[in-house]
Amino acid sequence: MKSSGQFSKGSSSISSSTMTPRRIVVAVIYFITLALWGLSITYLSPAVPQLPPPPPPWRHHAFLNFRGLDVRHAFSDHLYSALRRSGVRAYRDDKDMPRGANITEELLKAIEGSMISVVLLSSNYASSSSCLDELVTIMRCRHKMAHLPLPVFYLVSPEDVQDQSGPFKRDFDKHKDQYTYNRVDSWIRSMQDVADLAGWELKRHSSEAETVERIVNQVVEAIHSSTKEKKHPPAKNHVAAPAASPPAGGKVDAASMRRLLNTEFVRELEIKRAAVCRSTTLEKAYYSRR
């Protein structure tokens, strides 16, 4: 009984010691610090910029088309993260595809539902029939849905993309033996078309960080421009581009194109020429009238 009484007395002393004013003050300071830290995370962290949502029928701002073997865990990762930090609704297959979805069907739907596609052309790009099929869809959407492709020549030259030479020659030689003529021909034409677009050529000693920043800035600018056009449609007396049928033989001469461009429609047309782009009849007609 005596020992029991001693134990009880000891417990009482421990309990009273834990309730000293000093410990209470320390506990209050601790909880206040936690609360302030939580507020700093909520209010003082850099906010994600708010971009206007993609206007219908689009669901995404940008689609990333790339060969995972070359850039999935390097340039593509950096670009995707930078786009998301800038408020861009970017779509990448391993990040945004629903589990259990049909891969090919889902990717093609994602392209059609995107305002912009960033096409990362790398040395093993043409070894993937899926990448090439996506590219065909991207270029088709460019002509039919005002889709904007932005090519990035990642350690490859635009000339090699245009001619399917260099690292692409071996892959296209194999494709000609494995696939139908029409399918391979659509891949070749899409490679030629994307090589003619203004983009970024990333060489071995180029700064990836600077290139990523330029791409993100271009994507954000294109999103704002597209949204502005949706909010401020052309006036009622706006003259749309006249439908012109090419003369016999399928060729359009510069004079015909010049007449086509001498309308109010040309105010909405801006052709950004890259150093690697080849001259076209449309470009000649456009620049000769300036």
Catalytically active residues are: 134
* Tokens standing for residue 268: 């909405």
DSSP secondary structure code for residue 273 in this structure = -
Task: Beginning with the edge strand found earlier in the chain, give each strand of the sheet holding 90-91 in spatial order.
Answer: 90-91, 60-65, 114-121, 148-154, 200-202
> Are 104 and 77 within 8 A, CB to CB?
no
* Tokens standing for residue 3: 């020992």
Q: Is beta strand 200-202 parallel, antiparallel or unpaired with respect to 114-121?
A: unpaired
Residue 86 CB coordination number (10 Å): 18
> Are 94 and 115 within 8 A, CB to CB?
no
Kindly give, in sequence order, each residue whose CB lies less than 8 Å from that of residue 201, ignoring residues fewer than 6 positions away: 153, 157, 158, 276
* Tokens standing for residue 43: 């209010």
